[in-house]
Amino acid sequence: MIKRYIKRNFYLAKLAPFFNKNVIKVIVGQRRVGKSYLLFQIMDELIKKGAKRDDIIYINKELYEFEMIKDYKDLLIYIKKLAGNKKKYIFIDEIQDIIKFEKALRDLSAGGKHDIYCTGSNANMLSSELATCLSGRYVEIEVFSLSYPEFLVFHKLVNTEEALFKYIKYGGLPYLINLELNDQIVYDYLKNIYNTILFKDVVKRYNIRNLDFLERLVEYLADNVGSLVSAKKISDFLKSQKIKMAPNIILNYIHFLASSFFIFKVRRSDVNGKKIFEINEKYYFEDLGLRHSIIGYRQTDINKILENLVFMHLKVSGFKVTIGQLGKKEIDFVCEKKGEKLYIQVAYLISSEAVKEREFGNLLAIKDNYPKLVVSMDKMVEGGVEGVKHMNILDFLSRLQ
């Protein structure tokens, strides 16, 4: 079980308050973002605090040696045989592959004896099952592919525009540190990861038969990152391609993709009120490298790519994010955390007065005192306009809020 890794201190700090506490730690996120290695890091932290390695029980449902654990009964038999009457530190990787796993977790946590950690790659199943059976007895920590600061550490890079473009082009899956960063090698690897996510976490889990449509839908979403999307709009597009698909089926497929943490749906909200609009959402990809492996990396997409980048940075930083609607004006991101708000516009370059007026003007139209920020790739950023700050994206991505 001894593994070499680079510490992900951001997540360890989130988990540390719950070490040795009678609450189940559920670590969720897309496949291959580093959840398994985070478990190994937790093990080592617990050992530093006095736990013995012999008291650790580790189960990984992606390994053949645990194939015999198919349901909650098998899991309980396995753990209770190893644990006896002693306290154990229980780690279960990809727990959603165990049928009715929540029953086993409820049983194991009932006595308050064990310290339990598990990971999963299906948001819908984990949240619904755990909320039903373990209300108030678990904490969920979402893990993402490497943030830009982590990418610099993992790849031993300094914060330069060249490093940023590597991050933009190849994404932040941790395993990339083992590969040469060139297009053929990286995108071959990422294409395999994409296929694994699609087949294991979407097709197999939801018994999808129309694989061709699913792949076309992913391509459509990849090509329309940062654009307002509705099931009807997708349906109309498919009709133009001589493919008939009802809007409700499209919504189901999108939901399945979001449940695997592959994409994130961002709703629109009224800036002047609390109204959430029910149609025309935007979708962003968990990892840009995976997005590029599907439709290719195109410099002409830089505006939407930067928008995706900023969204994921806000997501990692713990913000609740919506798309702001202010009359006919759109605010790229309305961000909320701990009762505070932040408004953000994203642009490639403030290249003309018209662009400046659009990006800063949209924010200036918001009549409250919360911070407002324009993020762009301009090297020489000015101080801002009438209180709206202007920040280079390198500076923005280099700090976690």
Per residue in 220-278, pLDDT (tens digit) is 999 999 999 998 889 888 888 788 888 899 999 999 999 999 999 999 999 987 788 87
Contact between 117 and 37 (Cβ < 8 Å): no
The reported pLDDT for the residue numbered 236 is: 87
CATH of 9-142, one of 3.40.50.1980, 3.30.70.20, 3.40.50.880, 3.40.50.300: 3.40.50.300
Q: Per-residue confidence at 382, pLDDT binned at 50, 70, 90?
A: confident
- CA distance from start to end of the chain: 34
pLDDT band at 165 (very low <50, low <70, confident <90, very high): very high
Given a cut of 60, whether residue 123 has pLDDT beyond it is: yes
Whole-number pLDDT of residue 47: 97
CA 253, 256, 259: angle at the middle one, nearest 5?
155
What pLDDT, on a 0 to 100 scale, did the predictor assign at position 131? 76
For residues 319 and 330, give the distance between their C-alpha atoms in angstroms, rounded to a whole number: 19
Residue recorded with tokens 């749906």: 265
Q: How confident is the model over 154-168, as a mean pLDDT?
A: 97
pLDDT the model gives residue 401: 56
CB 60 within 8 A of CB 94: yes
Mapped onto helix, strand or coil, the DSSP state of residue 80 is: helix
Largest CA-CA distance found in the chain, in angstroms, rounded = 72
pLDDT at res. 141? 95
Q: Quick one: which H or E segment has residue 268?
A: strand 263-270
The confidence score (pLDDT) of residue 122 equals: 86
pLDDT digits (tens, 9 = 90+) for 78-96: 999 999 999 999 999 999 9
Residue 28: what pLDDT? 94
Can you point out the beta strands (E) in 271-386? 276-285, 320-326, 329-337, 340-346, 372-376
pLDDT of residue 245: 86
Q: What's the pLDDT score for residue 176?
A: 98
Mean pLDDT of all residues in the chain? 93
DSSP 201: I
Say what percent of the chain tops pLDDT 90: 84
The structure tokens 């009762």 sit at: 339
Contact 25, 58 (CB under 8 A): no
Percentage of the chain with pLDDT > 70? 98
Question: Would the pLDDT of 196 be above 60?
Answer: yes
Output 205-213 pairs: Cβ under 8 A, ≥24 positions apart.
205/122, 205/256, 205/260, 206/256, 208/253, 208/256, 213/238, 213/243, 213/245, 213/253
What single-letter amino acid sits at 302? I
- Please compute Rg for the chain using Cα positions: 22
d(CA 118, CA 39): 8
pLDDT-derived band at 283, boundaries 50, 70, 90: very high
| Amino acid identity at 145 | S
Rounded mean pLDDT, 205-222: 93
Q: Give the tokens for residue 264.
A: 């994130």
Residue spans of the domains in the chain: they are: 9-142, 148-397
Global pTM reads 0.95
Kindly state the DSSP code that residue 326 receives in the 8-state scheme: E
User: Does 2 score more than 80 pLDDT?
Assistant: no
Res 400: pLDDT: 65
pLDDT of residue 220: 94
Please state which of the ranges 52-56, 134-138, 258-262, 325-329 shows the lowest mean pLDDT: 134-138
Q: Is the pLDDT of residue 370 over 90?
A: yes
